[in-house]
Amino acid sequence: MAHTLLNDTFLRALLRQPTDYTPIWLMRQAGRYLPEYNATRSRAGSFLGLAKNPDYATEVTLQPLERYPLDAAILFSDILTIPDAMGLGLDFAAGEGPKFARPVRTEADIAKLAVPDIEATLSYVTDAVREIRRALTDAEGRQRVPLIGFSGSPWTLACYMVEGGGSDDFRTVKSMLYARPELMHRILEVNAGAVAAYLNAQIEAGAQAVMIFDTWGGALADGVYQRFSLHYIEKVVGCLKREHDGARVPVITFTKGGGLWLEEIAATGVDAVGLDWTVNLGRARERVGARVALQGNIDPTVLFAPPATIREEARKVLDSFGDHPGHVFNLGHGISQFTPPEHVAELVDEVHRHSRTIRARA
Ligand code: CP3
């Protein structure tokens, strides 16, 4: 069957090709701010019940696309599937964050760590990728929007694996980093192998772009970030399959709090860099020129403001980037669970509308 992508704006922007308007998707676009997500999650019994069942994962992946004309779908899953597959025992206690039954603390724990067999442990993810691709495609083989696959960065995964859950100060994992750097490098080496294998499996199953979430890279000192986070992201990027089914598979990396290291992040071989809201997008574009596309970066809290303010702030971000190819609009971090869903429609509409106006002016 002939395969056509009805809307390739997102992929074109990542490759810095001209588009009629600026594409938009939202980090965590499927989630608790949507009542339909909460309904599916209660049918599934839990968050992990949802994520580990490809039918449910497909259903919730498509929910935000039914409400809003978003330009990409993102696989519904979590970054913590990898440490779970390594045997750490992931659990999400209701109302709390993630918890691991067996965190990585001792030399013996670290010696035991290994890259999991993706097919044996994470086939629920690759099955979901295939099922979502089918659900995005009509009987004539026309696909609505591209599908993004993702993983955590080696460092961000290590944070959860060593802390055993979330943390305010990352005391345990950073103490290990400073006291026993060779042990930390061994964890990161294994994680990099796992992340590369996991992303390549998603690409082979049909993910058309992939994103590396380095949520906690910004917790590291300058110099330490480069050796313990960025180095391993670069390693992963070097192992990724960059073409599949005759199409380029763009790679995005996002270090929250990484604005100061933008040039170095852009030099890792990625196609696009995600930015949080602390960065001025126009100045960021001047710093990287045409080397990479940029993704971001409106403050997710703007979505709590009245619609006129949401639209004004969206225009500021678009105007700051200016009329150049290579911008994917997004939030500077994940959408809050308390966001009014109708406000998201205002943002998506204004990004599409105003970016067309900017193109017309040129
Ligand atoms: O963007 C999407 O729509 C795809 C789904 C997605 C989820 N998690 C679903 C999820 C993605 C891309 C993630 C990535 C993720 N997970 C990150 C990196 C991105 C970021 O936000 O910084 C991190 C650090 C995690 C780890 C994680 N998962 C935490 C800390 C939590 C609990 C806290 C919270 O925000 O809920 C989760 C759970 C989680 N992952 C939920 C969703 C929708 C909420 C769980 C629920 O339904 O109860």
Tens digit of pLDDT for each residue in 71-100? 999 999 999 999 999 999 999 987 789 999
Say yes or no to pLDDT of 1 above 70. no
Asked if residue 151 lies in contact with residue 213, where contact means CB atoms within 8 angstroms, the answer is yes
CA–centroid distance, residue 349 to ligand 1 (Å): 25
- Give the per-residue pLDDT at 3: 80
Which has the closest alpha carbon to 134: 3, 243, 28, 25?
3
| 117 included as an active-site residue | no
Cβ of residue 174 lying under 6 Å from some atom of ligand 1: no
CA–centroid distance, residue 283 to ligand 1 (Å): 29
pTM: predicted TM-score of the whole model, two decimal places: 0.97
Q: Got the DSSP string for 252-308? A: EEEETT-GGGHHHHHTTS-SEEE--TTS-HHHHHHHHTTSSEEEEEE-GGGGGS-HH
| 12 included as an active-site residue | no
Task: Note the pLDDT tens digit of each residue in 169-186.
Answer: 999 999 999 999 999 999
Task: Note the pLDDT tens digit of each residue in 298-341.
Answer: 999 999 999 999 999 999 999 999 999 999 999 999 999 999 99
Cβ of residue 25 lying under 6 Å from some atom of ligand 1: no
Average of per-residue pLDDT across 18-29: 98
What torsion, rounded to 10 degrees, do the Cα atoms 323, 324, 330, 331 define?
A: -70
Asked if residue 103 lies in contact with residue 88, where contact means CB atoms within 8 angstroms, the answer is yes
Asked if residue 362 lies in contact with residue 323, where contact means CB atoms within 8 angstroms, the answer is yes
What percent of the chain stands above pLDDT 70? 99
Average of per-residue pLDDT across 284-290: 96
Cβ of residue 29 lying under 6 Å from some atom of ligand 1: yes
Cβ of residue 292 lying under 6 Å from some atom of ligand 1: no
Q: Got the DSSP string for 217-263? A: GGGSPTTHHIIIIIHHHHHHHHHS--EETTEE--EEEEETT-GGGHH
| 160 included as an active-site residue | yes
Per the residue annotation, which of 8, 16, 21, 28 is the catalytic one? 28
- Give the per-residue pLDDT at 316: 98
The DSSP bridge pattern shows strands 147-152 and 209-214 to be: parallel
Q: Which one of 10, 79, 344 would you pick to mutate in the ligand 1 pocket, going by the greatest count of ligand atoms within 8 A of its CB?
A: 79
Cβ of residue 78 lying under 6 Å from some atom of ligand 1: yes
| 32 included as an active-site residue | yes
In the chain, what are the domain boundaries? 4-361
Average of per-residue pLDDT across 221-242: 98
Average of per-residue pLDDT across 242-246: 96
Per the residue annotation, which of 12, 16, 41, 144 is the catalytic one? 41
- Give the per-residue pLDDT at 2: 62
Cβ of residue 31 lying under 6 Å from some atom of ligand 1: yes
Cβ of residue 45 lying under 6 Å from some atom of ligand 1: no
CA–centroid distance, residue 218 to ligand 1 (Å): 18
CA–centroid distance, residue 231 to ligand 1 (Å): 24
CA–centroid distance, residue 275 to ligand 1 (Å): 18
From the CA of 50, give the closest atom in ligand 1: 47
- Give the per-residue pLDDT at 95: 76
Task: Give the residues across from 214 on adjacent strands.
Answer: 255
What torsion, rounded to 10 degrees, do the Cα atoms 298, 63, 136, 145 define?
A: -10
SS3 323: coil
State whether CATH 3.20.20.210 applies to domain 4-361.
Answer: yes
Cβ of residue 252 lying under 6 Å from some atom of ligand 1: no
Average of per-residue pLDDT across 117-133: 98
Per the residue annotation, which of 21, 56, 160, 225 is the catalytic one? 160
Select the more confidently predicted residue: 343 or 2: 343
- Give the per-residue pLDDT at 352: 98
